[in-house]
Structure 1
């Protein structure tokens, strides 16, 4: 079954999150995803609040930029979320936007090396292991969590280029693809992920999460086209869906057929009714997606 979610865009002020999260929970939406984009809103603080305000909604962070966060701190915060809200938190990590990392003095020479070291250490800590490692970037001396999760949670990684996709297959438990990824690109990403998994001898589940631009309402088409142009993409049907529930659901199904396990609909930055958008997805689109 394809899971369905919606992004809470950090272009909205933090005080809007409660109403959107509660609307999603009440409407039966499966997942609400958050971004830790510089310099907008914190991923961990926002996720903790959204989880506390809701009862059944899963809340994903896609993603925490690893150059900004010591891996032990991320492990502590992720473990706390997983213990407070079992089976409801999804904490993803990734390179981060390199220009932003440079702005805060955190950019590294080899983002791939950092991400692989980070994923290896983070997953071990969340398994309750005691970790000593002296990597190029990640260095831990006899570190273990006092309160690890009862069961090790999956850790997905954001990826786009071929090397990072293979790395995600080797070292992460899932992969997050950005909006603007057409079905053919989803298929290519899945192949590269599987190459990495085969290299590492992994046979465990690996969930593929794909963001997808979507808009509804009377001005949906014009808003979506402007959004795609803002991301530097051509306004094509493969990269976004604008219109009624049938139109959006058909696009979700195409992504699922290409290999997406979860499709997260990304509203435009100027979406006039975020609460209405999550209700539209949960109540109208969800019944049309197998």
Structure 2
């Protein structure tokens, strides 16, 4: 059975986010992830409110990092949200954006090491153990460093894009959030996760690996394509050259769109996004989206995760997902 999740940004206000969460639960979505990008709304605070408005859907923070928040506080947050939600909380953990961290004077040193140490320390704390007793949990812990709470299991997903981080996620994490540009990069990313899992005596089946893609869905295919094109105009130039090369693109291809945005001309920016660039995400009417998602299922994806913009009308897109897309994808799984 294929699982489904949504990913949204923490720039949304609580009423808007609540509407999306309720629509996602009604549509049969399994998980909703809220980002915790620096200098926007606090994802832990948002989730505390969303748990009061939902009853079934899992909610996660995707992601938090051990540079701006100490692993001890990450464990405290995870334990508290798990307690509040009756076990519906998932923690996304990664090194974070080096650019964002530089805004507040944080130098992101050894991101893989810091993420690994944080995962081991957080897992120990949640289990009622002491990080000082766990190999590779980092330095500086004393025997007084333990949670004064009952042990709790919180699934920890690693946000990963680089080969080494993907392998680490396969070896130690409960799941991995790997943004895929293009979506068909799932085949390469999942192979790296599988390699990491095998090195630790596990298999890929032991790791929840959503195929994380950008989605824009609408009955009007042109409107959906425009929504995704605008997203790509803003962010396409920031993708890693490694990922762009997978789609036969390079950073310079997005320069016309960026120039148009600087001139305040969104229409020209949208027109600058070619069909090849548009293939970095999934967009269109239900039939088009189903066809592209089935390809991911054929590549082995058992969990599809859809990120913003979702469509020109995000709530409408979620409802359309539940009515027209998910039933077909469940039948073809």
1:126-205 → structure 2 map (5 Å cutoff): 126-132=126-132, 139-142=140-143, 143-150=145-152, 152-183=153-184, 185-203=185-203, 205=206
Q: Output the CA distance in 2 between the equivalents of 1:259 and 1:60.
A: 23
Secondary structure at the aligned position of 1:22 is classed as helix
CA contact (8 A) 1:118 1:138 kept: no
In the alignment, what sits opposite 1:207?
Answer: 208
CA change 1:21–1:191 in 2 (3 A) is: same
Secondary structure at the aligned position of 1:51 is classed as helix
Aligned length: 287
Residue range with higher mean Cα deviation, 160-169 or 141-150: 141-150
CA contact (8 A) 1:43 1:63 kept: no
In the alignment, what sits opposite 1:263?
Answer: 304
CA contact (8 A) 1:83 1:149 kept: no
Q: Output the CA distance in 1 between the equivalents of 2:148 and 2:119.
A: 19
Equivalent position to 2:224, from 193, 199, 220: 220
Task: Please list the CA deviations of residues 67-120 of structure 1 after superposition, one character each: whole Å capped at 9, or x if unmatched.
Answer: 111111111111112222234211110011101111112223211110111111
Q: Output the CA distance in 2 between the equivalents of 1:261 and 1:47.
A: 26
In the alignment, what sits opposite 1:246?
Answer: 287
Task: Please list the CA deviations of residues 21-79 of structure 1 after superposition, one character each: whole Å capped at 9, or x if unmatched.
Answer: 12222333222221011222222112222122111111122111221111111111111
Task: Please list the CA deviations of residues 161-220 of structure 1 after superposition, one character each: whole Å capped at 9, or x if unmatched.
Answer: 11111121223221101142422x211111211222222233571110232121123311
Q: Output the CA distance in 1 between the equivalents of 2:88 and 2:308.
A: 22
Q: Output the CA distance in 1 between the equivalents of 2:163 and 2:12.
A: 32
CA change 1:18–1:116 in 2 (3 A) is: same
Secondary structure at the aligned position of 1:147 is classed as coil
Secondary structure at the aligned position of 1:176 is classed as strand
Secondary structure at the aligned position of 2:36 is classed as coil
In the alignment, what sits opposite 1:277?
Answer: 317
Residue range with higher mean Cα deviation, 6-15 or 192-201: 6-15
In the alignment, what sits opposite 2:108?
Answer: 108
In the alignment, what sits opposite 1:31?
Answer: 31
Q: For structure 2, which runs of at least 5 residues remain unmatched after alignment?
A: 237-243, 250-274
In the alignment, what sits opposite 2:272?
Answer: none
Give the Å deviation of 1:247.
1.8
Secondary structure at the aligned position of 2:17 is classed as helix
Whichever structure has more helix as a proportion of its residues is 2
CA contact (8 A) 1:179 1:266 kept: no
Which structure: larger Rg?
2
Whichever structure has more strand as a proportion of its residues is 1
Residue range with higher mean Cα deviation, 154-163 or 171-180: 171-180
Secondary structure at the aligned position of 2:47 is classed as helix
CA contact (8 A) 2:34 2:60 kept: yes
CA change 1:138–1:119 in 2 (3 A) is: farther
